[in-house]
Amino acid sequence: MNQIDQAKLVIILNDTTKRLTLLDRISQTVTDDISSELAGWEISKLLEQQYKLENKYAELVLKRTSLTGIEKKPKLLETQEEVKEVAKMLKDSTKKLTRLFKENPDIEKDAQKVKLDRSQLKEILEDLIELTSQNGGFNKFQQKTTQELENQDQLRRLIQTEKELNQEIKRLTQEQQKEFRDYQIEQQEKNEKIQKLKEELMEKKSQAKLSREYDEKNKRAAADSKIRMQEYQQKLELNKIHELEQKRKTEQQVHEQLRMYLENKEREIKRESEEWANKTRLNGERLDEEISALEEEKQRRLVELEELRTRKQKEALAQKEQEEKELQEIEERKQKELQQIRKDNAIKLIQNEFIEWKEAGGGKKKKKKKKKKA
């Protein structure tokens, strides 16, 4: 490079350096204004609200874990609804903050980066101006630039590696958060299951207690009833024993009276038997005489009966003959009357036929009709 070109290059580089210095001063003022705008009221308010919601969510989760038992179930359901509501509000607040940060990036850090790059460029240009004014300085600048480019390439590789590591860290963080959320969900399900099992256990204990008390009452009632039945049976048996004792005494009295009555009756019967024996002996002789008289009377009556039977048979035969004769006469008279009726009917029939024949013109001669002359 000749001296004229070097002079031109130095002039251009000096002008570029001045422009960079001016831009650095202007950007410093603009950066201060934008930084004050980022610290605005809305972002501060959202951050404060986000902090309050996070604290409230942590308190509600802690409160929910302490609510156990059937009697606290309504309070637990109410707390779960509050947790869901706060989680929804926290999610909405996070979305708003994310949107605001996307719309308003961190300009201060970007401005610092631009300022740093501008300073480095300014230093490079100043070095270039200094080296250009020397003999062979441009070649040195070229070597230095090549070395810096190689360093920048290595820096880009490091930046790329760092970026990949950051992405890997972000991915691992997301996986960790997901696993933590899954763990929280699993713990919540386990807690709910434990709570449900506790409630079922309490319910079963209550049922078992009620069942045990009911069984004890039934057993006591059955025992009392059995005792009352035994007392009642014992009372009945005592009454039966008393009645049997009374019956035994009564039977003894009756037996004694009956024995005395039978003894008296036996003596009376013996006396009457002796009297009847005497009467029988005396009456036997009298009855024998009466029987003999009755036998004779019987024979006489039989003879009279036979005579009456014979006479009755004769009278019956005579009466039968008379009845047969009367019946025959009645039959003959009926036959005669029947024949007379038949004759009368025949005569009436002939008379009726004659009258009909006569009324029909029977016996009159028919007149001949005269022929008309032609």
Q: Within its chain, how far is the Cα of 350 from the centroid? A: 109
Residue 143 pLDDT more than 60? yes
Given a contact cutoff of 8 angstroms between Cβ atoms, the answer to whether 34 and 107 are in contact is yes
Least confident of 140-149, 274-283, 329-338: 140-149
Residue 126 pLDDT more than 50? yes
Position 362 scores a pLDDT of 62
Does the predicted model carry a pTM greater than 0.85? no
Quote the CA–CA distance of 303 and 179 in Å, as a whole number.
149
Mean pLDDT of the chain: 75
Residue 373 pLDDT more than 70? no
Enter the DSSP assignment of 371: P
Position 103 scores a pLDDT of 63
Q: Per-residue pLDDT tens for 18-43?
A: 666 655 655 554 444 444 444 456 66
Q: What pLDDT band is residue 366 in, cutting at 50, 70 and 90?
A: very low
Residues 6 or more apart whose CB falls under 8 angstroms from that of 9 comprise 1, 128, 132
What dihedral angle (degrees, nearest 10) is formed by the CA atoms of 255, 256, 258, 264? 160
Half-sphere exposure for 181 (CA within 13 Å, toward CB) = 6
Quote the CA–CA distance of 364 and 372 in Å, as a whole number.
25
Q: Per-residue pLDDT tens for 87-110?
A: 788 778 777 777 776 666 555 555
Alpha helix (H) residue ranges in the chain: 3-38, 41-66, 73-103, 107-132, 137-359
Position 137 scores a pLDDT of 57
Which one is predicted more confidently, 166 or 175? Answer: 175
- The helix/strand/coil state of 67 is coil
Please compute the mean of the pLDDT values over residues 116-126 and round it to a whole number: 69
